[in-house]
Amino acid sequence: MARRTSANAPDAVADAIHSAAIHLLRRIRREDDRTGITPGRLSALSVLVFGGPMRLTDLARAEHVKPPTMTRIVAALEAGRLARRTSHETDGRSMRIEATRRGVRLMQEGRRRRVVRLGDALKGLSERELALLARAASILETVAKTI
């Protein structure tokens, strides 16, 4: 087993990953401007598209905002025909928010643009570097499940 140095100590690696992830996401997030909706609305829509329909309170909790704020966000998504309210299947008094087909398409297209932009940036890397990044991505997915 390789000896740990200060550069590959868990805290140092965590700091390097954190910094790189923030820089990468800030740059790639520029593609989201092309959707024409605000970051808060886009984030809530993403939760609905990739997490499935949910109650407004659960969506607010997932987005770390208060329910009145989420009510305004959902109203804007509804006005843009990106989300809709539906009756809860087991509790008729409760409403669920779900993405519309238009909302799903918007998110899928946004993801495609971000992936293309990132893929373009990776084209200059060697096969070895790409293999290393693929392995690192797999490890990061595993680590993410433990947080």
Sketch the domain layout of the chain as residue ranges: 35-144
CA distance 49 to 75: 16
Alpha-carbon distances, residue 23 vs 17, 40, 79, 120 (angstroms): 10, 19, 33, 16
CATH code for residues 35-144: 1.10.10.10
Measured between alpha carbons, how far is 139 from 62 in angstroms, rounded to an integer?
Answer: 25
Single pTM value for the model: 0.79
User: CA-CA distance, 112 to 31, in Å (whole number)?
Assistant: 10
Supply φ then ψ for residue 99, to 5 degrees.
Answer: -75, 145
63, 70 contact by CB (below 8 A): yes
18-74 pLDDT, tens per residue?
A: 999 999 988 998 888 888 899 999 999 999 999 999 999 999 999 999 999 999 999
Helix axes 56-63, 39-51, angle to 10 degrees: 120
67 within 8 A of 60, measured Cβ to Cβ = yes
**Model pLDDT for residues 107-145, shown as the tens digit of each residue:** 999 999 999 999 999 999 999 999 999 999 999 999 999
